[in-house]
């Protein structure tokens, strides 16, 4: 009987192989080369169905190396191979969830998870009420696969203790290659500021995104240098981390991304705050007080900043000084123009906003002639509002902004409380890496908005998933009953 089954399997294997070869030959004769991707697609479907955790690790590894593709006929752009794989992973994940119903739901009741769920629900609602429903739907769909894969599937991946560091390294190593590639390209043009705009291509098309990626991992390298024995006892790792520190330092400097530099400085300040064991509510009060002071004395502050006439330039010292130049620096002035336009848009539609993903298509009529700069445009072709915080405010109204801030607030509150209580040095320092990495982006987000880009969205949502997973699965004092031992990362608890 077994021999007959084996013979039947071999027969079907040969039949399918011959049919595929014939079909592939026919498609090649018709110059339809996409058919060559069918085996890879079938392999990925099989792989994600039976090993979704390894599939996510694979996507994490290839994301820094993904390449942006523009399809002018359809008016869309996407990254290959990342976004098609994410779409496939999301669909198969929900299908598997519907059929098998196996998911460790305890993490879904965590405050961060609940805030994200309500944020997605509000995004759906504002997509329906959008000024451009089709644009908003495409924006919602891309955010859905980012959040599904990088947060909800990542939660199950991070149940396994070793996957926390494995995931970090699987992103860091290809990112290191991208940095070396960029440094080489930069060297061919004398390390000028102008070269920073394209040096990281084709892997990263924007030097701001490139700087944000490096800033995310800068704290990890520093933590490893000072806490190496917590993670590994391999003697060569000390040398490797010093080499990586040099590479990442050169990379972030040559990115000429001032927001990334500020992000790293903010991470250092946040680390000092943690060492002083100051609480989240003290941090919130401090930030709130600074905001009140700024708005109370904004005229005087603006007048003081107007004294700075230093423009961004190749000279690093001059480039740093240009951060506060709101008088002549075109980049800074254009941000003010975008923010002012967004504020006027908010006044017109304060509660539902203009719809997710619509700002860049709608803000042009809200610009004032005296606020425009030499790089202003009405063509919706040079980016959005340049603020991760103003973006949901303008596009999804006040409720969308509140939900976005709740995600951040719950993340910082839970992470800080955990950090002060955790005893396991491995988990404690992994949490520190996640917190400091997020601190760089939360600072960066004041001046840029990159959560619609796969390379940075992966880091932001996965770092949030790491904090949630540590709270639920790796915290001995967590208020979640019947906490299981770290699992295999599969969908089942």
Q: Residue 415 pLDDT more than 80?
A: yes
Task: Give the pLDDT mean for 70-81.
Answer: 71
Q: Residue 20 pLDDT more than 90?
A: no
- Which residues, 6 or more positions from 42, have their beta carbon under 8 angstroms from its beta carbon? none
Q: Please give the pLDDT value at position 485.
A: 41
Q: Please give the pLDDT value at position 475.
A: 86
pLDDT category at 323 given cuts 50, 70, 90 is: low
Contact 334, 373 (CB under 8 A): yes
Which tens digits make up the pLDDT trace of 466-477?
999 999 999 875
Which tens digits make up the pLDDT trace of 80-95?
888 888 988 898 899 8
> Tokens 């000390």 identify what position?
238
**Share above pLDDT 90 across residues of the chain, in percent, rounded to a whole number:** 62
Q: Please give the pLDDT value at position 335.
A: 92
pTM above 0.85, yes or no: yes
Residue 261: CA atoms inside 13 Å, Cβ hemisphere, count? 15
Q: Residue 298 pLDDT more than 90?
A: no
Q: Please give the pLDDT value at position 208.
A: 95
Residue 78 — φ and ψ, nearest 5°? -155, 165
- Range with the poorest average pLDDT among 197-211, 223-237, 300-314, 433-447: 300-314
Mean model confidence pLDDT for the chain: 86
pLDDT category at 351 given cuts 50, 70, 90 is: very high
> Tokens 């026919």 identify what position?
26
- Range with the poorest average pLDDT among 213-227, 245-259, 369-383: 369-383
Q: Residue 480 pLDDT more than 60?
A: no
Tokens representing residue 14 in the block: 């040969």
Contact 254, 186 (CB under 8 A): yes
Q: Residue 35 pLDDT more than 70?
A: no
- Range with the poorest average pLDDT among 244-258, 325-339, 406-420: 325-339
Q: Please give the pLDDT value at position 75.
A: 61
- Which residues, 6 or more positions from 148, have their beta carbon under 8 angstroms from its beta carbon? 89, 90, 93, 94
Distances 242 to 107, 226, 246, 469 between C-alpha atoms, Å: 36, 11, 6, 29
Which tens digits make up the pLDDT trace of 84-140?
889 888 988 998 888 888 888 889 999 999 999 999 999 999 999 999 999 999 999
Q: Residue 458 pLDDT more than 50?
A: yes
Q: Residue 1 pLDDT more than 60?
A: no
Q: Residue 462 pLDDT more than 60?
A: yes
pLDDT category at 479 given cuts 50, 70, 90 is: very low
Task: Give the pLDDT mean for 350-367.
Answer: 95
Distances 157 to 96, 165, 176, 189 between C-alpha atoms, Å: 16, 11, 23, 42
């Amino acid at each position: 009987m077994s021999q007959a089954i084996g013979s039947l399997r071999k027969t079907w294997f040969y039949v399918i192989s011959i049919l595929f070869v014939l079909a592939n030959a026919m498609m090649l004769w018709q110059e339809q080369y996409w058919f060559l991707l069918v085996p890879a697609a079938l392999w990925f479907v099989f792989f994600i169905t039976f090993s979704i955790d390894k599939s996510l690790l694979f996507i994490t590894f290839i994301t820094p190396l993904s390449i942006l593709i523009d399809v002018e006929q359809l008016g869309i752009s996407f990254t290959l191979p990342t976004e098609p794989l994410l779409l496939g992973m999301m669909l198969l994940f929900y299908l598997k969830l519907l059929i098998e119903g196996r998911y460790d739901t305890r993490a879904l009741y965590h405050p961060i998870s609940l805030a994200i769920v309500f944020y997605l629900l509000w995004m759906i609602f504002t997509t329906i009420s959008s000024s451009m429903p089709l644009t908003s739907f495409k924006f919602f769909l891309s955010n859905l696969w980012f959040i599904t894969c990088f947060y909800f599937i990542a939660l199950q991946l991070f149940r396994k203790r070793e996957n926390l560091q494995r995931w970090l390294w699987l992103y860091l190593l290809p990112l290191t290659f991208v940095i070396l590639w960029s440094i080489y390209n930069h060297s061919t043009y004398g390390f000028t500021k102008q070269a920073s705009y394209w040096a990281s291509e084709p892997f990263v098309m924007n030097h701001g995104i490139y700087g944000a990626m490096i800033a995310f991992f800068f704290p990890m390298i520093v933590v490893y240098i000072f806490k190496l024995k917590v993670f590994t006892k391999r003697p060569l790792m000390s040398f490797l981390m010093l080499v990586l520190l040099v590479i990442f330092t050169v990379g972030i400097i040559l990115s000429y991304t001032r927001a990334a530099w500020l992000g790293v400085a903010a991470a250092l300040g946040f680390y000092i705050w943690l060492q002083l064991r100051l609480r989240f509510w003290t941090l919130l009060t401090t930030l709130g007080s600074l905001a009140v002071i700024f708005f109370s004395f904004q005229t005087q502050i603006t007048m003081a900043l107007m004294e700075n006439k230093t423009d961004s330039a190749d000279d690093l010292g001059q480039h740093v000084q240009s951060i506060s130049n709101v008088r002549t620096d075109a980049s800074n002035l254009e941000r003010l123009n975008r923010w002012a336009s967004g504020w006027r848009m908010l006044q017109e539609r304060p509660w539902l906003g203009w719809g997710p993903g619509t700002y860049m298509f709608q803000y042009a009529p809200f610009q004032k002639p005296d606020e425009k700069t030499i790089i202003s445009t009405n063509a919706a072709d040079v980016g959005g509002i340049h603020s991760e915080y103003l973006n949901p405010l303008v596009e999804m109204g006040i409720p969308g902004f509140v939900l976005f801030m709740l995600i951040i607030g719950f993340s910082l509150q839970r992470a800080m409380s955990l950090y002060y209580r955790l005893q396991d040095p491995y988990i404690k320092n992994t949490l520190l890496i996640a917190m400091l990495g997020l601190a760089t982006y939360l600072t960066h987000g004041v001046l840029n908005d990159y959560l619609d880009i796969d390379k940075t969205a992966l880091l932001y949502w996965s770092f949030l998933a790491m904090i949630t997973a540590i709270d639920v699965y790796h915290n001995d004092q967590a208020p979640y009953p019947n906490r299981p031992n770290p699992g295999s990362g599969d969908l089942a608890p």
